[in-house]
Amino acid sequence: MDIIPVLDLRGGIVVRAHRGQRDQYRPLKSPLSPTSDPADVMRGLYSVYPFRTFYVADLDAIMGTGNNEAAQRRLKAEFPAAVFWVDNGVSDLSSARSWLDAGLGHLVIGSESQHDMALMRSLSEHDRVVLSLDFRDQAFVGPPALLDDVASWPRRLIVMTLARVGSGAGPDLDRLRAMREIAAGRDIYAAGGVRDSADLAVLKRAGISGALVATSLHDGRLTGSDLEAG
């Protein structure tokens, strides 16, 4: 399965996510990296495993307090072989197309940032678009129609349980299985709570295509040997 490290960017640095409480995120402190600078963190992650894809959350853009485009462009320039999946809170077609045309990576459309179905219906067949279905506690965050209109979903879906991000609580298996049942063969990526290789094995048996991970990599509970063995 695909293992995708996460970089949460705020104020130009990588921060450590915890249960989706973004106002409480603090600069990342990790044995893999001497600083919370995004390039240092990338090099640290590459020391664990030759990852192909990285997920970037531009928290400032998502929260409407600015953006981290300069950091993203620097990462793209310094790590040209990396594929970046970027959630920047985009909610309108013009901004989405402009970002895609810039060639910085794959655009993650987060359900929490959407006001209606317009953007997803316009880009559902774009080969560089990923939909993130975001949940907080038991509630879906986004337009209810987006959760029901499976035909508007692209071929890759992130199922994000915000309350489990950085929690060490384990992946949200019941929800992931339920989403897989209705996803009509689309690739599903788990986000939130992955602790170790045992969790990855459970996800793989459940038919999940990949997982977004951060804390388990920085804490050393998920190692390069684990990923090679998986």
Residuewise pLDDT in 10s, the chain (230 residues):
999 999 999 999 999 876 656 666 789 999 999 999 999 999 999 999 999 999 999 999 999 999 999 999 999 999 999 999 999 999 999 999 999 999 999 999 999 999 999 999 999 999 999 999 999 878 999 999 999 999 999 999 999 987 777 666 788 899 999 999 999 899 999 998 899 999 999 999 999 999 999 999 999 999 999 999 87
What does pTM read for this prediction? 0.94
Cβ-based neighbour number of residue 53 at 10 Å: 17
Relative to beta strand 53-58, strand 83-87 is parallel
What CATH number has the domain bearing residue 39? 3.20.20.70
The parent domain of residue 27 ranges over 2-229
For the chain, the domain total comes to: 1
Locate 211 and state its tokens: 């997982």
Secondary structure of residue 189 in the 3-state scheme: strand
Locate 179 and state its tokens: 């989403």
